[in-house]
Amino acid sequence: MKAIGFRTAGPAENLIDLDIPTPTPGPRDLLVKVAAVSVNPVDVKLRAGSQPAEGATRYLGYDAAGIVEAVGSEVTLFKAGDEVFYAGQIDRPGSNAEFQLVDERIVGKKPKSLSFAQAAALPLTAITAWELLFDRLGITKESTGNLLVLGGAGGVGSILIQLARKLTSLTIIASASRPDTIAWVEKMDAHQVINHHKPLPEELKRIGIPQVEFVASLNGTDKQLPVLPEVIAPQGKLGLIDDPESLNIRPFKMKSITVAWELMFTRSLYHTADMIEQHRLLNTVADLVDQGVLQTTLTGETGPINAATLTAAHKLLESGSAIGKNVIAGF
């Protein structure tokens, strides 16, 4: 089968086209014929800094939509011919290949109303946003107050804003700084928009909300850390997904602020007892899409899936100018 990988960590140009054997499913695996993929910050981070073992090739890709080609001996959730979408595992070969093995417990049914490309924009970001909101921050339908989404126009922010707006009673404040990103987070249905390039305390006071009960920090946490203890209300909660160089949480103590990290690969990496929750939440997301409650976050589509198009997609993400999700479809 065709696949795209790298043998040396470094720039996007290190991605190469390869032909490798088609894998065979293990007991709980689906063998998926990949129709579309999207690129996430984790792809860029691992390509740039994760050196494969000597003589080895690493295959990335943590978002995909496709059709089940074959199933393992213990699979009960899917059958050959099913259309699926998923985000895969960080410790297994990725979706940048014609066929991929993926554990059925982290796979969802593809939304019927979306194309494969539209569906491939959603899994990793939807899982991350869902777990951050409902598992890490502990937000429920009954939660009240304000949620500040730092980095609202990216892939995670785009779906997190929608989930919070549609499934909770919170007031959603998204940060964005350019006319196009402001327009995007407004399209995603944020109640208010502030500029994260200006001091957060001043921006929040400008809209009449000096403190917030919840913060979802999706990028640029390093820059905002000094002011977050000021803008988070007593007993509030901070959830983050990026990688600050340092994270001193002592300033959050006086207000008893909860600080929680979200990594959507945790359940599959450690085979947690509740690993199947990702299957369930993806199915819920698919239903919400088909009901018209949620929309795809796709903003661009290219193809075919090869080293050249993936290199361009990695560079776009590295530029910091990407909005929503860019998808690559077809081999």
Measured in residues, the chain has a length of 331
Q: Is 74 exposed, middle or buried (0-12, 13-18, 19+ CB in 10 A)?
A: exposed
- How far apart are the C-alpha atoms of 311 and 266, rounded to whole Å? 27
pLDDT of residue 321: 84
130 and 86 within one domain: no
Of the candidates 77, 100, 75, the residue with the CA atom closest to the CA atom of residue 87: 100
Q: What string of pLDDT tens digits covers the 331 residues of the chain?
A: 999 999 999 999 999 999 999 999 999 999 999 999 999 999 999 999 999 999 999 999 999 999 999 999 999 999 999 999 999 999 999 999 999 999 999 999 999 999 999 999 999 999 999 999 999 999 998 899 999 999 999 999 999 999 999 999 999 999 999 999 999 999 999 999 999 999 999 999 999 999 999 999 999 999 999 999 999 999 999 999 999 998 999 999 999 999 999 999 999 999 999 999 999 999 999 999 999 999 999 999 999 999 999 999 999 999 988 899 999 999 9
112 and 163 within one domain: no
107 and 96 within one domain: yes
Residue type, 214: F
| Three-state SS at 279 | helix
133 and 118 within one domain: no
20 and 8 within one domain: yes
297 and 225 within one domain: no
Of the candidates 102, 91, 94, 117, the residue with the CA atom closest to the CA atom of residue 20: 94
Report the CATH number that the domain containing residue 240 is assigned in CATH. Answer: 3.40.50.720
pLDDT of residue 13: 97
Of the candidates 173, 224, 231, 233, the residue with the CA atom closest to the CA atom of residue 202: 231
Q: Where do the DSSP E strands lie in 195-318?
A: 212-217, 232-240, 258-261, 298-302
295 and 220 within one domain: no
The answer to whether 160 touches 188, Cβ cutoff 8 Å, is: no
pLDDT of residue 122: 97
94 and 55 within one domain: yes
Structural domain containing residue 221 = 125-261
Q: Given CA atoms 229, 158, 101, 59 in this order, what sign does their dihedral have?
A: negative
236 and 308 within one domain: no
Per-residue CA distances from 12 to 15, 44, 126, 252, 312 (Å) = 6, 8, 25, 38, 8
**Structural element, H or E, at residue 224:** helix 221-224
The answer to whether 83 touches 258, Cβ cutoff 8 Å, is: no
135 and 254 within one domain: yes
pLDDT of residue 293: 97
Of 243, 261, 279, the residue that ends a domain is 261
Cβ partners under 8 Å of residue 276, min gap 6: 105
Using only the alpha carbons of the chain, give its radius of gyration: 20
Q: Global pTM?
A: 0.96
| Three-state SS at 145 | coil
142 and 90 within one domain: no
Q: Please state the domain count of the chain.
A: 2
Report the CATH number that the domain containing residue 14 is assigned in CATH. Answer: 3.90.180.10
pLDDT of residue 322: 86
pLDDT of residue 320: 85
The answer to whether 156 touches 173, Cβ cutoff 8 Å, is: no
Q: Given CA atoms 31, 36, 40, 46 in this order, what sign does their dihedral have?
A: positive
- How far apart are the C-alpha atoms of 235 and 257, rounded to whole Å? 5
Residue with tokens 């086209």: 17
Of 215, 239, 261, the residue that ends a domain is 261
302 and 193 within one domain: no
